Amino acid sequence: MNKQIKKYRMQGKTASHTASLTRSLVMELLRAQQIKTTPAKAKVVKSKFDRLVTLAKKGEGNKRLVQSFFASNEKAVNKFYKVIESQLQDRNSGYTRVIKTLPRKGDNAAQVYVMLVNADVKEKKSEVQKLLEKREKTESEKSVAGRVRKAVTGTSKSKKKD
């Protein structure tokens, strides 16, 4: 029984494909503070990002390794160090979190969110929430109180112009 066989997390991809995919997902995680992906890719991104942050926090000697990972992309390296200074400086480990979400519609594949721990992420409103807010706004404008409020604010604006 040979137990020394490497088991890859993203099977069916060449090493260069896996490396470039990991690099692009880490860069997207830095840019957007959260990404939505499959669980296998999330495990790879989480481990790679956590290793990079640990290396970068250890000192200046490891700066070359971090730059080589980002393929000498100066904007990405600067953003990486800015995120470490602002959000991840007080933590020793566990810089990312993985949260399960609903499966993908097309092929019913499992999906997860990978996000930075101290990130302030804007939540996107669903179409239903947008329609409900629009309905409430139009109802408030059509009601008697809404028309009175509109008339009062309209007259006060014209008085300020005079």
pLDDT in tens, 32-78: 999 999 999 999 999 999 999 988 888 777 778 888 888 878 888 88
Evaluate if residue 4 carries a pLDDT over 80.
no
Residues above pLDDT 70, as percent of the chain: 87
Instruction: Report the alpha-carbon distance of residue 63 to residue 19 in Å, rounded.
Output: 19
Instruction: Report the alpha-carbon distance of residue 124 to residue 146 in Å, rounded.
Output: 28
Instruction: Report the alpha-carbon distance of residue 49 to residue 18 in Å, rounded.
Output: 14
Task: For the chain, give percent helix, strand, coil, nearest 5.
Answer: 60, 10, 30
Beta strands in the chain (DSSP E): 34-37, 96-101, 111-116
